[in-house]
Amino acid sequence: MQSNRKSIKHKRQKPEPAPKRAVDIHFEELNKQSRHPANRAIQYVAIPVFAFALLGLVWMVPFPEIGFLKRHGYDIFLNWGSFFIAGMIYYYLRLAPTLSYAILVTIGFFSFFIVQLEYWEQRGGPAVWGICLALLSLSLAGLWAGKRMERTPVTLRGFMRLLVLGPIWLWHFVFKKLHIPY
């Protein structure tokens, strides 16, 4: 009889919560660092601009020609941005696969606009790297100004975390709103 009581008590206990994933811990930290409404509004604009500008700058770093492919008539579309994208997607894929797919679509849009900027430059427009450097500077200044609005000071490490994880952090709000697990 006593063993029955023990098993009933054991069944009534709450199950232990699953351990938090690394991505959830990162998002909680970013949420703690970004409570001011004006800072949040700045982040919704400045983080995508920062990501676009950074990709554009990496994209424009000259890439060595691969002679054997050119000789055989292959015109490859490869640049340092390709490797940057691969590394970024791999990192995000390890954190949250579904969010990394959203970032991949975002990068597709960013790539389209970077190529459009390249065409504009070829027609006599401003240099792509100059536009991206200006956008990067403005977005960093905006993000830094937003961080200064917060009650608790944000460390440099916390600011760097925002820059690295900011794109998927913004997507996670969309996924939560649409009730899509990530």
| Tokens 């029955």 belong to residue | 4
- Output the pLDDT for position 22: 87
How far apart are the C-alpha atoms of 139 and 20, rounded to whole Å?
A: 31
Q: How far is CA 58 from CA 24, 34, 53, 106, 136, in A?
A: 29, 28, 9, 16, 12
Question: What tens digit of pLDDT does each residue of 85-121 get?
Answer: 999 999 999 999 999 999 999 999 999 999 999 999 9
- Read off the pLDDT of each residue in 73-78 and give the average, rounded to a whole number: 63
Question: What tens digit of pLDDT does each residue of 122-134 get?
Answer: 999 999 999 999 9
Give the predicted TM-score (pTM) of the model: 0.82
- Read off the pLDDT of each residue in 142-146 and give the average, rounded to a whole number: 93
Confidence class for position 72, pLDDT limits 50, 70, 90: low
- Output the pLDDT for position 106: 97
Question: What tens digit of pLDDT does each residue of 20-33 get?
Answer: 888 999 999 999 88
Does 177 or 78 have the greater pLDDT score? 177
| Tokens 């975002």 belong to residue | 106
Confidence class for position 78, pLDDT limits 50, 70, 90: confident
Tokens of 181: 């697990």
pLDDT at residue 149 tops 80: yes
How far apart are the C-alpha atoms of 166 and 57, rounded to whole Å?
A: 18
Confidence class for position 12, pLDDT limits 50, 70, 90: low
Q: Return mean pLDDT, the chain.
A: 87
Domain edges within the chain: 47-177
* Angle between helices 128-148 and 156-177 in degrees, nearest 10: 90
